[in-house]
Amino acid sequence: MSLWVFVVAVSTGLLAAVPPWWFARRRPGYSHLRNTLSELGETGAPDATRVAWLAFAPLGLAVWGFMALLGGQLPEDASTGLVLLSLLGVSYVGAAVFPCDAGAPFWGTWRNQVHNLVAAIGYFGAGAGLIELGRAFEDVSRLSALAIVTSTLGKGVLAGIFVLSFESPVRGLTQRVIEAAVFGWMVLVGVWLVLGS
């Protein structure tokens, strides 16, 4: 089972990294520093449908798969953290169904508002979930060494959400740091479980 956690963690990390890189290359003027990931699939974007169903939705499903498999390795009291972190998957599926308006504004159409709401829920869930899982890891001998790292990353994600709440020329970079923390953590946990087996 640990091997499957690892395989799904690596697959999830690749889904988080490769499609945004690929679709950004196809979008003139797109900047990973300035633009959010959602802007790749914004309403009216040339690859919006592909981004939604080949990038965002599969990534959301992969997050859910990882959480389900990781749950099989953890005690029952870790379920709160797993459910919270699985909200990140909800935000990706939500981004596929409800694309943002052009430029990913804080306000806009009802669809943009739903998009922003599910994004906020997803990132908040990721941060809070990591903090909760950090607590749960303290009682799991195979993962106790990752407890502090996990909680610290969760707090960093919550701080990153605050930074994302403001217009900034590095909004895209901030989002990518948050994403790297969460998906990098998944890969780290997968590696840790395989090496500890």
DSSP string for residues in 162-174: HHHTS--TTHHHH
The per-residue pLDDT for 197 is 59
The per-residue pLDDT for 170 is 93
Indicate the pTM of the whole model: 0.94
User: Taking a C-beta distance cutoff of 8 angstroms, is the pair 45, 39 a contact?
Assistant: yes
Q: List, in order, residues 6 or more apart from 44 with CB less than 8 Å away.
A: 102
Cα dihedral sign for 9, 173, 154, 108? negative
The per-residue pLDDT for 117 is 96
Q: Strand, coil or helix: what is 177?
A: helix
Q: What percent of the chain has pLDDT over 70?
A: 99
- From the number of C-beta atoms within 10 Å of its C-beta (0-12, 13-18, 19+), residue 70 rates as buried
The per-residue pLDDT for 28 is 92
The per-residue pLDDT for 144 is 95
Matching residue, tokens 């959480």 = 67
Q: List, in order, residues 6 or more apart from 54 with CB less than 8 Å away.
A: 19
Confidence of residue 2 (pLDDT cuts 50, 70, 90): confident
- The predicted-structure confidence for 43-89, as pLDDT tens digits, reads as follows 999 999 999 999 999 999 999 999 999 999 999 999 999 999 999 99
Q: How many CA atoms lie within 13 A of 196 on its CB side?
A: 18
What is the distance between the alpha carbons of residues 70 and 196, in angstroms, rounded to a whole number?
14
CB atoms within 10 A of CB 166: 9
Q: How many CA atoms lie within 13 A of 66 on its CB side?
A: 31
- The predicted-structure confidence for 166-189, as pLDDT tens digits, reads as follows 888 999 999 999 999 999 999 999
